[in-house]
Amino acid sequence: MNAAVLSYSLTQPVSRFLGSPKELLIDGEWVPAASGKTFPVYDPATGRVSAEVAEGDREDIGRAVKAARRAFESGPWPALRPAERGKIIWRIGDAILEHLDELAELESLDNGKPVSVAKAADVPLAADMFHYMAGWATKRHGITIPLSILYTPGVRYHAYTVPEPVGVVGQIIPWNFPLLMAAWKLAPALAMGCTVVLKVAEETPLSALRLGELLIEIGLPKGVVNIVTGFGETAGAALAAHPGVDKVAFTGSTEVGRLIVRAAANDLKKVSLELGGKSPNIILKDADLDVAIPGAASAIFFNHGQCCCAGSRLYAEEPVFDRVVEGVAEAAKKIKLGPGLDPKTEMGPMVSEIQRNRVCGYLESGLAEGARAVTGGSARAGAGYFVEPTVLVDTQAGMKVVQEEIFGPVVTAMPFEALDDRLIERANDTIYGLAAGVWTRDLSKAHTLAARLKSGTVWVNCYNVFDAALPFGGYKQSGWGREMGEAVLEHYTETKAVTIRL
Ligand code: NAP
Ligand code: MG
């Protein structure tokens, strides 16, 4: 469909981009799917089609893996001087910033998030990731290791390690932060000298395709990054199972994470997983409530709750519980819902009709089990996939809304009596362990909770603070391994130990 039919006007660069065919990036060229098929992507604010995108399949994954293999084995990328690789990765970060407005607009159109949020968070954080990882290209090195072994008296050894790129990497990303998730995945893999086949989410392929154009302009060698659009069950599954892939990096649901592990098990390819969460956000009675209440609202409502680390279980100490609930509900009521591309919008639609219905299903289940909505509680009638920001009370530990990842603007608020074992048990009582929030002025309580919460991230008196240098990932069923920081480099390197008899 023509961009002009949309209810708000798109800028010229975005209209131009939408007007060109959306193909697969394989071996440095844009190509249609082997099957010739395409699928529509929708603007979630209106439900209208914004573009037709190539429907990549098993065969296209095969072509892309072949290109990535050639680029890895005989292309210039892994052998490039690290400083040269670093410079190219840095330039990707620069190019993202140079196209900030355009990428933010695309992200908003595709995902539904407010364009102001994409401008302030998604796009600059994506650029940060490339800039940060550019530096690691020259800084990842091995060590020398003194050996004590004595096979033959008098014989000495010189031993050292070399980090080498793991090879061809298959990366599968979700729709909640499309460009940022592409950056989290691509930047460290490129810094370590890997080549990549990236499968983007069917709901939100556009910003990654625009990034692909920028990669070509920058002069990234052919085949180093291949981008395949298509469906998870076909293209994604083929990538996870492809014998030519050395490592799979996945971000998405815990359910699909399990499928990825099974698919990768045949040839035991390396796997990293960044999965779901049901993060506790704990407000103690001594907290600065002027900071904690808006913080708790933002912890759940940021990105419409479509965050793996969303602070979706709010625990407030009894003396302040009513005030916290009232404050978060007030904040929820003030949020201005609308199309992401309207600059006044504070919360856009859910990414898709399916996601809207999934969130509404959880609301119905919670209300049927005895929860009460202090505010919100349903979808908004009319066009677009909007759900009201919702605060649920009277929820119990066993309810689905307390246990399962809703991935929508829905928080369950529960009181607790004191910081004791019972609270910690409740906070840790899900299959997940991705993130947690703590709000207190008491240093000792902050450290006690930080130590005892089983989660990969603990934010104290803040929430959703991300930095390219900070490792992020999950305990328990929230995943395997860490994204970002030095920690993520592990995913993309093999360590070779070399021993030389002197
Ligand atoms: P999902 O199915 O896990 O999708 C994530 C990625 O995996 C997408 O690129 C998807 O492709 C792909 N995929 C799906 N099935 C696959 C398979 N069998 N093999 C390989 N790849 C596959 O997530 P979703 O359906 O978009 O959302 C469902 C729920 O997942 C949400 O409600 C939320 O609870 C959770 N979720 C979590 C995160 C997170 O960051 N932790 C992100 C998104 C969603 P398609 O897009 O083509 O299906
Ligand atoms: Mg899906």
Are 44 and 351 in contact by the 8 Å Cβ rule? The answer is: yes
Q: Of 299, 291, 300, 279, whose CA–CA distance to 320 is shortest?
A: 291
Question: Annotated catalytic, 308?
Answer: yes
pLDDT of residue 6: 46
400 confidence band (pLDDT: 50, 70, 90): very high
pLDDT, tens digit, 9 for 90 and up, residues 310-340: 999 999 999 999 999 999 999 999 999 999 9
Residue 282's SS3 state is strand
Q: Which residue lies with its CA nearest to atom 18 of ligand 1? A: 233
Question: Annotated catalytic, 274?
Answer: yes
pLDDT of residue 7: 52
Cα of 183 to ligand 2 centre, how many Å?
A: 20
Q: Of 106, 88, 121, whose CA–CA distance to 217 is shortest?
A: 88
Length of the chain, please?
502
Residue 461, phi-psi category: left (phi > 0), alpha (psi -120 to 50), beta (remainder): left
Mutation test of ligand 1: which of 256, 272, 482 has the most ligand atoms closer than 8 Å to its C-beta? 256
**pLDDT for residue 8 is more than 80:** no
- Choosing from 23, 203, 274, 317, the catalytic residue is 274
Contacts of 419 (CB under 8 A, 6+ apart): 284, 317, 445, 448, 449
pLDDT of residue 153: 85
55 confidence band (pLDDT: 50, 70, 90): very high
Are 390 and 375 in contact by the 8 Å Cβ rule? The answer is: yes
What is the C-alpha separation between 49 and 108, in angstroms, rounded?
Answer: 14
**pLDDT for residue 151 is more than 90:** no
What is the C-alpha separation between 43 and 50, in angstroms, rounded?
Answer: 6
Residue 460's SS3 state is strand
Cα of 261 to ligand 1 centre, how many Å?
A: 14
DSSP code per residue over 209-275: HHHHHHHHHHTPPTTSEEEE-B-IIIIIHHHHH-TT-SEEEEES-HHHHHHHHHHHHTTT-EEEEE-
Cα of 86 to ligand 2 centre, how many Å?
A: 34
Domains of the chain, residue spans? 24-275+479-498, 280-468
Cα of 202 to ligand 2 centre, how many Å?
A: 7
**pLDDT for residue 83 is more than 80:** yes
pLDDT, tens digit, 9 for 90 and up, residues 173-199: 999 999 999 999 999 999 999 999 999
What is the C-alpha separation between 36 and 77, in angstroms, rounded?
Answer: 31
What is the C-alpha separation between 430 and 463, in angstroms, rounded?
Answer: 20
pLDDT, tens digit, 9 for 90 and up, residues 110-121: 999 999 999 999
Give me the architecture of the 280-468 domain, per CATH: 3-Layer(aba) Sandwich (3.40)
Tell me how far the alpha carbon of residue 434 is from its chain's centroid: 12
High-pLDDT (> 90) share of the chain, %: 96
- Choosing from 308, 317, 388, 483, the catalytic residue is 308
**pLDDT for residue 2 is more than 50:** no
Region 431-441: mean pLDDT is: 98
Q: Which helix (H) or strand (E) holds 160?
A: strand 157-165
Query: Considering only 147-151, 261-265, 410-414, 432-436, which range has the smallest mean pLDDT?
Result: 147-151
- Residue 415's φ and ψ, nearest 5 degrees, are -85, 160
The 3 state secondary structure assigned to 404-443 is CCCCCCEEEEEEECCCCHHHHHHHCCCCEECEEEEECCCH
**pLDDT for residue 348 is more than 70:** yes
pLDDT of residue 9: 84
What is the C-alpha separation between 217 and 119, in angstroms, rounded?
Answer: 22
pLDDT of residue 152: 82
Residues having CB closer than 6 A to ligand 1 are: 172-176, 199, 201-203, 231-233, 236-237, 240, 251-253, 256, 259-260, 275-276, 308, 355, 358, 405, 407
Tell me how far the alpha carbon of residue 171 is from its chain's centroid: 12
Query: Considering only 260-264, 379-383, 485-489, which range has the smallest mean pLDDT?
Result: 379-383
Ligand positioned closest to the Cα atom of 235: 1
Region 18-38: mean pLDDT is: 97
Q: Does the structural domain 24-275+479-498 have CATH classification 3.30.70.580?
A: no
